[in-house]
Structure 1
Amino acid sequence: MEEYTCFLCLLGGNSYFCHSPNILFDMNSYIFLDDVRFFAYHGVGQQEREVGNEFVINLKLKVDIARAAETDDVTHTVSYADVYENVKAEMEIPSKLLEHVCGRIIKRLFRTFPTVKAIELKLAKRNPPMGADLDAAGVEVQCERA
């Protein structure tokens, strides 16, 4: 019998049988959205909430994708398109603080996607009106489901 290593077995979290008989693998996996751009109305200053600014989100959701890896069925994972729509809905609600926006996004994602185990979220405001020469300023949050 030939010995080989299944590429899925190398991914590394929960016990499932992979596509090859008698090969058990663990999977630790993430769904992510990188550099998602929004134009929104967040800021402490009234002008920021009236004129708006560009924001960039980087998001990483810890979720077990082992079953989806076996079945090729989107219902066995978290759809990143659905994640985007939920983030977009929260970004459309003006807030003074990016911390508040992040808190709303995280609560909504945990509520909407019960299989998400942890979230890493970075929300950056491009060219913030603070008199500094910088690309962005923002908030980065890491949360695990209790």
Structure 2
Amino acid sequence: MGKVKVSNIRVYAHHGCLSEESIVGSEYTVDVNVETDLSKASITDDLSDTVDYVQIHLIVKEEMQIASKLLEHVAKRIIDRIITEIQMVDTVEVYVSKINPPIGGDVEKVTVVLSSKRN
């Protein structure tokens, strides 16, 4: 087994329960960790034998552009697409963070973490 991590994907999106959040938007970061068998890729040096992190990045960017009220909803959509589109992935963990959330306090970010295993 092995892991592929794509860290600190930065996006501007329009998620949130407040109407202002859907209009103005805010900054987010997304981290994705996947587990898969990397033994073949470590020998063949062939991209087709591993998880392509470019594809992970594309999935995250596309799903983050679909507005949702909850970060949990966005994270689940990202997980579902990774499991569906990248057959090599055994488990996936997604961290979606809202930078400077509008919660009336000095908070750097809030983060939702979801994970799933292939059935």
TM-score under structure 1 normalisation? 0.79
1:71-110 equivalences under 5 Å are 71-110=44-83
Structure 2's unaligned 5+ residue stretches are: none
Greater strand share, structure number: 2
**Which position in structure 1 is the counterpart of 2:112?**
139
- Identity, in percent, stands at 35
* SS of structure 2 residue aligned to 1:85: helix
* CA distance in 2 between partners of 1:39 and 1:64 (Å): 33
Q: Which has the higher contact order (CA 8 A, sep 6+)?
A: 2
User: 51, 67, 77: which is aligned to 2:40?
Assistant: 67
Structure 1's unaligned 5+ residue stretches are: 1-27
* CA distance in 2 between partners of 1:142 and 1:53 (Å): 24
* SS of structure 1 residue aligned to 2:12: strand
Deviation at 1:141, TM superposition (A): 1.1
* CA distance in 2 between partners of 1:128 and 1:78 (Å): 32
* 8 A contact 2:99–2:108 mirrored in 1: yes
* CA distance in 1 between partners of 2:111 and 2:3 (Å): 23
TM-score under structure 2 normalisation? 0.96
Deviation at 1:138, TM superposition (A): 2.2
Deviation at 1:110, TM superposition (A): 0.3
